[in-house]
Amino acid sequence: MYTPVLKTQAQTFAPAQVVQLQIKQVKELTCEQLVFTIINSEIARFKREKVNVDAKTIRESYQAFYAGWTQPQLMQAAMNVVLIFDKTTKIWRLVANEAEIRQKQTEFSRRYHFFKKNTANVA
């Protein structure tokens, strides 16, 4: 027995402009975030190389060094300094784009706030 198919309305798609307006634009990394990422990347590199360094001294000296730099200059510096672990090749390499810098900044920020919260509870 034949069952007639009900006519359904075709799905209407939003125009591309409307969809584009709904997408949240990514904010640029601030100078402070870039310096924070560079500093923590260098500290992590020293730890990987098993070099005993004072993180507070490194932080203060790098902050003094990068004081007054513009955001594009800091972005270029981060491209030349910040390392990321490439899971496909299993080696550390320089970041290739802003998205990878943002990924490292998020990683360092989460780690910072995790330890800050946990050490505050202990003390």
pLDDT tens sequence across 53-95: 899 999 999 999 999 999 999 999 999 999 999 999 999 999 9
Which residues are bridge partners to 86 per DSSP?
91
Q: Which residues 6+ apart lie within 8 Å of 59 measured at CB?
A: 39, 43
Domain boundaries, the chain: 28-122
Cα angle at 112 between 49 and 77, to 5 degrees?
60
pLDDT at 35: 95
pLDDT at 27: 83
